[in-house]
Amino acid sequence: WDCCAGTGNLLNGLTNYRNVWASTLDKQDVDVMKDRISNGWKMFENHIFQFDFLNDDFSKCTDELQEILNDEEKRKKLVIYINPPYGEGDSKVGKGRSGIAISKIQEKYSNEMGYSKRELYIQFIIRIYKEISNCKLGLFSTLTHLQGSKFFSIRNSFLAELKKIFLVPANT
């Protein structure tokens, strides 16, 4: 499941679309993905849906995906495969990023995230870790949450086992 799919580009190249779901915040992105299907993309249209991962309840997911999310054994096979948004909330007024990190997840896990609650991608990984236990997380991200001094709180809460990692320069 790419729970922040945008227009679905991360899902290109996958082959078993029967087991792939894509959700995104913006209706326009859902429309783009559905248009791509009409132009030959093999994704299943009923596996694409609008969903605000940082604010919506999982009951808004498709029935098939809810079945996986609600079944501990099926969840063990679930891969959350994401390149989440990297916005950081700040206190700038006007065209700054003020307010972008305000969400139900930020409110719910604020104490556990500490300073890092300002980072959208941290909110994604903490929700996945806390609410979709035992799934696999394929995450494209910086290493800040693993080593940054301001991310100490999140490392006390996000205790997932790092099994594999590959590093590449961000501009590749």
Q: What span, in angstroms and rounded, lies between the C-alpha atoms of 116 and 168?
A: 23
Quick one: pLDDT at residue 118?
Answer: 86
Q: What span, in angstroms and rounded, lies between the C-alpha atoms of 120 and 118?
A: 6
Quick one: pLDDT at residue 95?
Answer: 61
Q: What is the DSSP string of 83-141?
A: -----B-----SSS-TTTT-SHHHHHHHHHHGGGGGBHHHHHHHHHHHHSTT-EEEE--
Strands (E), 44-90: 48-50, 79-82
Rg (CA), the chain: 16
Give per-residue pLDDT as tens, 23-60: 999 999 999 999 999 999 999 999 999 999 999 999 99
Q: What span, in angstroms and rounded, lies between the C-alpha atoms of 74 and 72?
A: 6
Query: Which of 72-76, 153-157, 168-172 has the weakest average pLDDT?
Result: 168-172
DSSP type of residue 81: E
Give per-residue pLDDT as tens, 72-101: 999 999 999 998 876 666 655 556 566 778
Quick one: pLDDT at residue 161?
Answer: 84
Quick one: pLDDT at residue 71?
Answer: 97
Query: Which of 64-78, 107-121, 122-136 has the weakest average pLDDT?
Result: 107-121
Q: What span, in angstroms and rounded, lies between the C-alpha atoms of 67 and 64?
A: 5
Quick one: pLDDT at residue 141?
Answer: 78
Quick one: pLDDT at residue 77?
Answer: 96
* Average pLDDT for the chain: 88
If one counts every other C-beta atom within 10 angstroms of the C-beta of residue 154, the result is 24
Quick one: pLDDT at residue 40?
Answer: 94
The torsion angles phi and psi of 7, rounded to 5 degrees, stand at: -95, 10
